[in-house]
Structures are given as C-alpha cells and as structure tokens.
Amino acid sequence: SAVISQKPSRDICQRGTSLTIQCQVDSQVTMMFWYRQQPGQSLTLIATANQGSEATYESGFVIDKFPISRPNLTFSTLTVSNMSPEDSSIYLCSVLGLAGGHEQYFGPGTRLTVT
C-alpha cells in the first residue's frame, strides 16, 4: 500500500479563519478522497479529489466551504473555510488501493479544533 502523509497533524484555529490541509502520497494514485470524522462518529466522505478537474462533493458538502485542489497524482489539499466550532473534527485523506477491490488506505489525519 502507498505511504500517505498529512500536514499539519493538528491545529487549533479561531472561528472565521481558514486552514489548508495537505495530503502527500509516495506513489501516483488515480483516486484520492477526503473524509471527516467528528468526535465519536464514523467517517463521512466529503469529496473525491479529481486530478485536473473540480472535486466531486457529497451531499451536504460544498466547494465554497471545502475547496479542494489536486494538481497531480501524488498531492491534494483540502481547505476548511470560514471555520466554526462545528468544523472541529479529524480530517483524513485516503487513496484507492491498487488491487482493484475498492479498498482504501488512509493518511494519519489532521485533528482540527476551532475555538
């Protein structure tokens, strides 16, 4: 499986500001995804990061709030914009495995606290 890193690993931000999270993979991957895991909850898919085109967002998530970039096959960013305390969560990127069975591998996550 690919080695995935995320930066920052954690941050504490003030409401109204924005934070950009980076996801770096050590090999080229076709599919990258961004998830949110709120306290005590399971993972919810925010969007699929598409290389060379706009991200595909899931219901309840919009580009203005969570702009995503995917400039190449090894890197993506997720920005959490105009943050509120409700955005406090763990944000994880993942990549599709190479075995063709839809399994995904996750980065270590970014723990965001909004005060």
Partner 1 sequence: RKEVEQDPGPFNVPEGATVAFNCTYSNSASQSFFWYRQDCRKEPKLLMSVYSSGNEDGRFTAQLNRASQYISLLIRDSKLSDSATYLCVVNKGPRDDKIIFGKGTRLHILP
**Least separation in angstroms between CB 47 and partner 1:** 10
Q: Which residue's CB is nearer to partner 1, number 13 or number 31?
A: 31
102: left (phi over 0), alpha (psi -120 to 50) or beta: left
By CB under 8 A, name the binding residues for partner 1: 1, 31, 33, 41-45, 48, 92, 96-97, 101-109, 111
* Pick from 16, 29, 28, 34: nearest CA to 77: 34
Unique residue bearing structure tokens 């996801």: 23
Q: Which residue's CB is nearer to partner 1, number 51 or number 81?
A: 51
- Provide the 3-class DSSP secondary structure of residue 45: strand
**Least separation in angstroms between CB 64 and partner 1:** 22
